[in-house]
């Protein structure tokens, strides 16, 4: 694949790493719950992330942290649709909807979303795959063990990289049978979603092995608990850990990183891309001041 089509937007692949800014319109997300529950505050943060260097803005109305309780479809719609509608008009970057509910995703697409970020890889709602097929929009194929309420209750793998790869193979085939084109799919190993500490480290360190599928790779290490275990810090104090994980992910071939701290990650990815993807300069030709 050489490009990803998001409706009217096109993202060339292999020439730069794309930053997806996290916008949680929720009261209980693990690191920023409640900060952007108000629609006005959420839109303002979305526009701020775009100015900071976000290439996409991922809007979610239901927390998927470990142990999180589900949110009703009506409540999720109430939270995300007004925010997406405004951001689709005012931001100059594509908007993503973070949901596993097909009706929420469809309403988000109608409001202007152009990317489907489904943590269940279209397993939780039978309507998600047909929606992806009809819309032609990119859809994330993410690995998760169980569901958010139970995923961290003693997860276990014999070989996490092999098992996540087998999951990708099965879901790619199932989605293709449902009419989703292969070039719509983005793979995400699901760091923190039903993974032990050592599983997260191994998936991050061996991310490049999933390049054999020939599909874009998305990684979401931002502020995750495995970083907190290493650093001994709470979620809001894990910027440096997130940056280190992003650098590793880019060196391993990640095409997209999903993060909260957009400005810092944008700067880090520019430096790494200059080293590993030098064919597409970040600057507009102007000399940078030393």
* Active-site residue flag, 224: yes
Digit-coded pLDDT (tens) for 233-269: 999 999 999 999 999 999 999 999 999 999 999 999 9
Among residues 85, 224, 238, 269, the one annotated as catalytic is 224
Query: What mean pLDDT is predicted for residues 193-220?
Result: 96
**Model confidence, pTM:** 0.91
Q: What percent of the chain has pLDDT over 70?
A: 91
Least confident of 99-108, 186-195, 214-223, 269-278: 269-278
Whether 290 has a pLDDT exceeding 60, the answer reads no
CATH architecture type of domain 3-7+18-275: Alpha-Beta Barrel (3.20)
| Mean model confidence pLDDT for the chain | 91
- In 3D space, the residue among 27, 43, 134, 53 whose CA is nearest the CA of residue 81 turns out to be 43
- What pLDDT is recorded for position 287? 41
Band the pLDDT of 201: cuts 50, 70, 90: very high
Residue in the structure block whose two tokens are 């001994």: 232
- What pLDDT is recorded for position 286? 43
- What pLDDT is recorded for position 32? 53
Structural contact between residues 119 and 100, judged by C-beta atoms closer than 8 angstroms = yes
- What pLDDT is recorded for position 284? 40
* Active-site residue flag, 101: no
Burial class of residue 285, CB neighbours in 10 A (0-12, 13-18, 19+): exposed
Band the pLDDT of 40: cuts 50, 70, 90: very high
Range 125-129, long-range pairs (CB < 8 A, 24+ positions): 125/100, 125/101, 126/102, 127/102, 127/103, 128/100, 128/101, 128/102, 129/174, 129/175, 129/178, 129/179, 129/180
CA distance 179 to 129: 8
The CA-atom distances, in angstroms, between 95 and each of 53, 91, 109, 210, 223 are 14, 8, 9, 26, 22
Among residues 258, 263, 267, 277, the one annotated as catalytic is 258
């Amino acid at each position: 694949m050489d490009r990803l089509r998001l409706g009217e937007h096109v993202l060339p692949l292999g020439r730069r790493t794309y930053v997806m800014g996290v916008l949680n319109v929720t009261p209980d997300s693990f690191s920023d719950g409640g900060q952007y529950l108000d629609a006005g505050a959420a839109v303002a943060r979305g526009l701020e992330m775009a100015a900071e260097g976000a290439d996409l803005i991922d809007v979610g109305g239901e927390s998927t942290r470990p142990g999180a309780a589900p949110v009703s479809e009506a409540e999720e719609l109430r939270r995300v649709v007004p925010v997406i509608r405004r951001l689709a008009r005012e931001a100059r970057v594509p908007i993503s909807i973070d949901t596993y509910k097909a009706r929420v995703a469809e309403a988000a697409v109608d409001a202007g979303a152009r990317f489907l970020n489904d943590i269940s890889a279209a397993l939780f709602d039978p309507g998600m795959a047909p929606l992806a097929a009809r819309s032609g929009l990119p859809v994330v194929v993410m690995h998760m063990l169980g569901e958010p309420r139970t995923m961290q209750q003693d997860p276990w793998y014999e070989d996490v990289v092999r098992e996540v790869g087998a999951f990708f193979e099965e879901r790619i085939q199932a989605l293709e049978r449902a009419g989703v084109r292969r070039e719509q799919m983005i793979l995400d190993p699901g760091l923190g979603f039903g993974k032990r500490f050592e599983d997260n480290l191994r998936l991050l360190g061996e991310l490049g092995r999933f390049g054999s599928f020939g599909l874009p790779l998305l990684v979401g290490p931002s502020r995750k608990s495995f970083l907190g275990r290493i650093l001994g810090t709470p979620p809001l104090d894990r910027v440096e850990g997130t940056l280190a994980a992003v650098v590793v992910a880019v060196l391993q071939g990640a095409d997209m990183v999903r993060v909260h701290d957009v400005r810092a990650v944008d700067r880090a990815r520019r430096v790494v891309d200059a080293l590993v993807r030098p064919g597409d300069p970040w600057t507009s030709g102007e000399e940078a001041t030393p």
